[in-house]
Every structure is written in structure tokens, then in C-alpha cells.
Structure 1
């Protein structure tokens, strides 16, 4: 296999609500520019390794189907959302490569002959690669995952990702407390003023990334302001650590900053070689 021109930075992208697919707002516009900017700077990814908090299993698992149709894993949304389709090819051969590489490092990842992309993945990819022609390999989030576990998994994956021209897309949400998104009349407007706790948490993450403070980020539950308010449960925040582990903090950059409904932070980050250049290209 010919070497890939450059390793990709590892990405953490906030996907927000399923309504992103119909009401993209500034975050969706960022995602539309993300795919072309990545390919202009680093080349076409051979495969996109995608992790989302909506694909949960007892142990990390790679889905090895030949194709991955969009799964509408939500209820109570407009009918137009359920009519959206996205079906990229899979990458079963890469699953074998990654499983073997992790096993050599004492880490186990299961493989399951199943397919489908939850909305945390397809709602991002349909903007970044609307033609659905880049192969995707879904990786599940383990039920008992911790920041340290995912950082270690990302670091273990990094050499294989670079060798095989794989882009890591870890999809989640920089803040995720749905109760904060509602007012007396229901959902707060998409452009509602940002709440103080959301701003404090976003600013803290940006400062710790800029400082290269891995220990502080791993201990976010104790150190970050409003951590429990912004993440009553942390499954939407955990994908951040897979990307951080894969790319490291020696070069990291915030690619997009924004808030929907006053409390749903849509910030996205890149980690590793070229992160700063990618951020510059997206400005």
C-alpha cells in the first residue's frame, strides 16, 4: 500500500441535537467546510474511523459490514428527519488490521458483522462528505469507558491510523445537559444567549488544551467549572479523549466554537500534526 501523504489530525466534533441535520446553523456550516479543508491539506482519507456515544457496547467493538445505512435512533422529531438517508461503504479489512495492532499492545477490541451509523456519525458526515463515498468503520463506546481508558485506546490506535491513511472522527458534545435547553415555553431558541456554566466549561477546556494540560483534562470531573451541571452523565464528552489520545496535545486547536439553545456547546477540536493549519484553513 502506498504511503498516505500526511497523517490526519484526530477530530472531536460536537454533533448536538438530531435536528442538526435539518437546522445546521453555524455548526453545520463548519462541517460543510471541514471535509474539503481536510482533503485539501491532507489528502483523501482511505477510511473514517468513527466513534459516537450513541453506539454503546460492553467492550469496544468494530462494526464490519460492507455498508452502513443511517440509523434514525431517536423519537419525536419531524418526519423529514426520518426520511434522510446516508449509506457509505464499510471497511471490514481495516477492522482486522486495527484489531491485530491493538492485540499486539495487549488491548482487545471485538469485531461484529453488523452495520449502521447512529445519528452522532451520519449527521456530521452528511455535511462533511455529502456523497457518502468515503468508507466508514464504526467503533463503539464501551459502557465502562473512562477518560484515561479512551486516551490510552487513542494512543494505541495512532500508529495504525497514520500508516493506513485513516481519519479518526470522535463525535460527541462539548456540553450535554438537555434539561438546560428548555424554558417555560419549551426548547430555547437556537440562538438563545449562552448560559454562564456552559461558557465557563467551554473556556476551561480551551485553556487546558492550549496549555497542554493532559492531567487536568483527564480529571475534568473534579477540576472543570460546572462539570456536573454540563455533563450529568459523561458519554457525550468521552469521545474527546479518544481524539486527544490519538493526536496528543503537543499540537491541538479548536476548529469551531459555538452554542445552540444557550447550553449545547458545539465546539470541535483537532489533535496532532496539522491541527493548527486545519484551524487556520477553516477560519
Structure 2
């Protein structure tokens, strides 16, 4: 019997919702990644846009495409990402986490927020890989996300792709939609954090030690999915690096 391929974990900066309509170096990097990875049996993904009191696991067999934004092109609201859910996998994950003392619940109604379907539209445009979404509990910090990710590491040997979807830098107040410039503070943070991820994971988990960190992450929810992916595989490599709208980091990382 042929052995299953071991998949990496990914951290994807999903950008603004309008990223779904773009064609650029970032979308090309996602497309190449989807083409080059061994075909996953399912995707388990944590998005910055599902923050809950306690951990929830989506068990919706046919999740709708949720256009959870406003003020963008009407064309965005016509996009659909009709991927199936995977209730059996969701239930199995819930049972395993309960056995380990991780309080969680199944959510059979959750749709796919744009932190899920926007990047997956480029990664797997045929929407033919089943999806299980995890929430981000509001009391989780980088350590908790890292520890949770470590519990999912075995999934990589089961040909399940684990993804954290957020943004390597995310300060909406600093965005300039039509600018070609790059924010120096955001650039410095990306370089600093990547160095820590490569050389000193405990220091990376203390990401809030970066000087003036509130200028790149006024809130934590867009960075925390990175540490979930990091828990699944501690060796980081950069798939893509860029900046959009002056200060919105669009980096994609692979963890093995």
C-alpha cells in the first residue's frame, strides 16, 4: 500500500476581501502552492474572522459562502466557493480534543467567512477539497494557539492540510489603498518575526515584545493563526513575501 504524503502546514495572509478578484504575485504563489502540494484529503483551517468564547469546530456539511464585509465591489458578493464540509472529520477532531481535556463544541451552521474562502479560491479554485473550520477562542494567546496546533500535527501524516489564515501585518488605520509604497514599521516587524521563527520560537511567541507592535497589530486576531500553523511544524520557509495597500502584509509561510 502506498504511504500517504506528509503535508506541510501553511500560514496565509488573506488580505482584503478584494483579494478574491485580484491576479498578482500573491495569487500566483497560492495557485502554484495548490498545484505543487500533494492533493489533500481535507483542509482544517483557523481564520482570524471567527472569534468565539470557547473553541468551536464547524461541522456544516455544505457551508455557504459568507460575504462578511461591505463597501467593496458588488462583484465580490456574487462569488461563491461551494466546497463541502467534512462533518465526520469535525466530529472525530472534537472527540479527540475532548479526550485531551480541550473544551470544544461542534457548530453545524457555520458558513465560510472570507478568511477561508478568499485564499482558498486561489489555492484550490475548483472548491473540491472538503473544509473543517476552527474558531479562534478569544482568550487564546500565541502560546495557546501554538499548543493547539501541536495537537493537530499528526493530521499532516493523514494527508490533511492545516492552515492558519490571517495577516502577517494588519493595521487598517495605516492602509493606503492605491499606494505602491511599503510601510517601514510593517516591513521591520515582518523581518523581525521571521528571524525569530527561524531561530528562536519562544521569542516569536512573545511577538508583542516588538517595539510599537500596536502600529502593525492593534489587535491580535490576524496574527494568532500563524502560531496555530507553527505548532504543526516548527521549520518555517517563505513561500511568498509582499505588501499590499502600503501596510498590509501578504506573506505566505510553510511549516514542516
Q: TM-score scaled by structure 1? A: 0.87
1:114 aligns with 2:109: yes
CA-to-aligned-CA distance 1:147-166 (integer Å, 9 cap, x gap): 0110010011212x135321
2:236 to 247, 252, 265: 252
Q: The residue matched to 2:112 in structure 1 has which SS?
A: coil
Relative to 1, partners in 2 of residues 1:28 and 1:51: Cα closer, same or farther, differing over 3 Å?
Answer: same
Counterparts of 1:150-229 in structure 2, within 5 Å, are 150-159=145-154, 161-182=155-176, 187-189=177-179, 192-211=180-199, 213-222=200-209, 224-229=210-215
- Measured after TM superposition, the shift of residue 3 of structure 1 is 7.3
After superposition, residues 1-283 of structure 1 pair within 5 angstroms as 5-38=4-37, 43-159=38-154, 161-182=155-176, 187-189=177-179, 192-211=180-199, 213-222=200-209, 224-248=210-234, 251-272=235-256
Partners of 2:4 and 2:158 within 8 A in 1: no
Tell me the residue number matched to 1:279. none
Compared with structure 1, are the counterparts of its residues 181 and 4 closer, same or farther at alpha carbon in structure 2 (3 Å cutoff)? farther
Q: Deviations over 1:211-261 (max 9, x none)?
A: 1x1111111101x2442110000110010010001112xx22111100001
Offset, 1:195: 1.4
C-alpha contact 1:200 1:226 (8 A) present in aligned 2 = no
Is the 8 Å Cα contact of residues 59 and 91 (structure 2) preserved in structure 1?
no
d(CA) in 2 for partners of 1:162, 1:21? 27
- The question of whether the paired residues in 2 share the 8 Å contact of 1:102 and 1:157 is answered with no
Q: 1:165 to 1:203 in 2, by over 3 A?
A: same
Cα offset, 1:36, TM superposition: 0.5
Query: In the aligned structure 1, how far is the partner of 2:52 from the partner of 2:18?
Result: 25
Detail structure 1 runs of 4+ shifted over 4 Å in the superposition. Answer: none
Using structure 2 for the length normalisation, give the TM-score: 0.95
| Aligned-residue CA RMSD (Å) | 1.5
Q: Which runs of 5+ in 2 are unaligned?
A: none
> Once the two structures are superposed, what CA deviation does each residue of 1:103-130 show, in whole Å capped at 9, x if it has no partner?
2222122111113111111011111111
Stretches of structure 1 lacking an aligned partner (at least 5 in a row): 273-283
The number of aligned residues is 256
SS across alignment from 1:140: strand
Following the alignment from structure 2 to structure 1, what is the Cα–Cα distance between the partners of residues 140 and 173? 24
- Distance, in Å, in 2 between the alignment partners of 1:218 and 1:30 is 26
